[in-house]
A = this chain, B = another copy of it.
Amino acid sequence: MADPAVRKAPPPPPIDGNHSKVIRFLEGFQWKDVIKEDYKADSDSWKGITRRELAGKRGESVKFHVRYFEIEPGGYSTLEKHEHEHVVIPMRGTGEAQAGCYIWKVSFGDVVYVSPSEPHQFRCPDDAKEPFGFLCVVNAERDRPQAVDGLGVCHICE
C-alpha cells in the first residue's frame, strides 16, 4: 500500500481551460499541443507567415492574447491598419518592422509598439538565414484590420 504521507504529483493540467498551466516550448520554435495556423485565412496580401496562439484563446480569462508569428525569408505580413495596438517582441532571427514612415531592423528582445491606426507591416528579408519569429500581444477585444495600399506620408516626414 502506498505511503499516504508521500503526496503524489498532480497530473498535468489540460491545455484548455481557465486553470494554471504551462505550455512547453519545443525545439524549432514550436509549442507542445499548439498547432501552427495560417496567419490569415483570407486574402493574398501576405506571404510565408504562420501563427501560433499561446495565451488567451483556450479559456483563459485574460484581456489580451499572446501569439507567436513566424515569417520565412522573403515573407511579409499584410500592410494594414486598425484601432488596436501591437506589442511585438522578436524571439528568433532578424526582421523589419515598419510603422508609418519608420522602418526598424529588429531582433531578439526589442520591444516594438505600433500605435492605434498606424499603417504597419512586418517582413523577413529575402537573404535571411533563418525565419523571423516574434511574440505579438494584442487586446482580446479588438477591431478587424483594414488592408492599406501604401504607407503614405505621415506628420513626421511630410
Contact = CB atoms under 8 A, between A and B. Distances in A.
B87 A118 contact: no
Contacts of A22: 97, 102, 104, 106, 110-113
A109 B29 contact: yes
A34 to B, nearest CB: 9
B20 A61 contact: no
Given A19-B115, A89-B135, 12 more contacts: A8-B157, A11-B156, A19-B118, A20-B102, A20-B114, A23-B113, A25-B107, A25-B108, A25-B111, A54-B87, A55-B137, A64-B87
7 contacts: A10-B101, A20-B99, A20-B102, A23-B111, A56-B87, A62-B85, A62-B139
Interface of A: 7-8, 10-11, 13, 18-25, 29, 31, 54-56, 60-64, 66, 85, 87, 89, 91, 97, 99-102, 104, 106-116, 118, 120, 135, 137, 139-141, 154, 156-157
